């Protein structure tokens, strides 16, 4: 009962700055008729976002394995940690690599539709995101919470609030992410430490050559 209460108690008290804490999203999947197995693999996956000042860690856990992106908005460097089928890979990213990896979100705009919906205790506004390449996706966001580190997710850098429910298109799959927990707790700095062993290390540029 605690999580819904925490969600409901924040709404209606003006915009709250979210500089440190944890966000948890559940994922659901829709696929084309030829890919039912992919939905089984990703349905029920979770994305957990840890934020602390300029530091962020975004973890995706599914039946396939887990992946985490640790990013420092102060210098825009990052690492991606992949752990699938016992194979552990670390991809290091410079500031220019990070920019290149998120270039598709440059110039993104959000068109409010005027529609609203209560999701996880928040009154959310529906917006259509327009990408510079012509792509579109839907996002429901609450203006009651403002994430101060807007660099943690480039697609929401200019969104005037917190994304509560949104969709992504990956091939023939439509992924939907829904916020199920928000916590303003302190996050230990150890969450953002980069492993020094146990991973095969590659640069972002090296992964592009494979």
Q: How far apart are CA 184 and CA 76, in angstroms?
A: 24
* Closest C-alpha among 139, 181, 188, 133 to residue 161: 139
Summarize the confidence of residues 142-162 as an average pLDDT.
94
162-202 pLDDT, tens digit per residue, is 999 999 877 777 889 999 999 999 999 999 999 999 999 99
CB neighbours of residue 83 within 10 Å: 17
Backbone angles phi, psi at 147, to 5 degrees: -75, 125
The total number of residues shown for the chain amounts to 210
Given a contact cutoff of 8 angstroms between Cβ atoms, the answer to whether 42 and 29 are in contact is: yes
- Of residues 30 and 94, more confidently modeled: 94
List, in order of start, the domains of the chain with CATH numbers.
2-209 (2.50.20.10)
Over range 73-97, report the average pLDDT. 95
- pLDDT greater than 50 at residue 12: no
- pLDDT at residue 208 above 90? no
Q: Are 165 and 178 in contact (CB under 8 A)?
A: yes
* Alpha carbon distance 28, 46 (integer Å): 9
Cα three-residue angle 20-25-31, rounded to 5 degrees:
150
pLDDT in tens, 28-57: 887 655 555 555 666 679 999 999 999 999
Question: Residue 100 and residue 94: Cα distance in Å, rounded?
Answer: 10
> For residue 149, which of 50, 77, 54 has the smallest C-alpha distance?
54
* Terminal-to-terminal C-alpha distance of the chain: 48
**Ranges of H-type helices in the chain:** 2-10, 36-42, 95-101, 204-209
Check residue 152 and report its DSSP letter.
G
């Amino acid at each position: 009962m605690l999580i819904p209460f925490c969600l409901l108690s924040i709404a209606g008290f003006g915009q709250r700055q979210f500089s440190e804490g944890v966000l948890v999203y559940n994922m659901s999947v829709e696929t084309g008729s030829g890919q039912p197995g992919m939905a089984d693999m990703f349905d029920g996956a979770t994305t957990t976002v840890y934020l602390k000042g300029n530091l962020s860690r975004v973890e995706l856990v599914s039946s396939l394995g887990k992946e985490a992106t640790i990013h420092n908005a102060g210098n825009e460097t990052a690492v991606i940690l992949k752990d699938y089928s016992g194979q552990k890979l670390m991809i290091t990213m410079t500031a220019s690599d990070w920019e290149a990896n998120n270039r598709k979100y440059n110039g993104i705009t959000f068109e409010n539709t005027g529609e609203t919906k209560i999701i996880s205790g928040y009154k959310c506004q529906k917006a259509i995101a327009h990408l510079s390449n012509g792509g579109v996706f839907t996002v429901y966001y609450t203006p009651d919470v403002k994430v101060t580190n807007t660099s943690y997710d480039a697609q929401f850098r200019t969104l005037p609030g917190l994304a509560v429910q949104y969709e992504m298109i990956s091939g023939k799959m439509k992924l939907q992410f829904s916020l199920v927990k928000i916590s303003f707790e302190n996050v230990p700095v150890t969450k953002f430490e980069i492993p020094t062993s146990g991973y095969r290390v590659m640069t972002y540029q090296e992964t592009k050559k494979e």
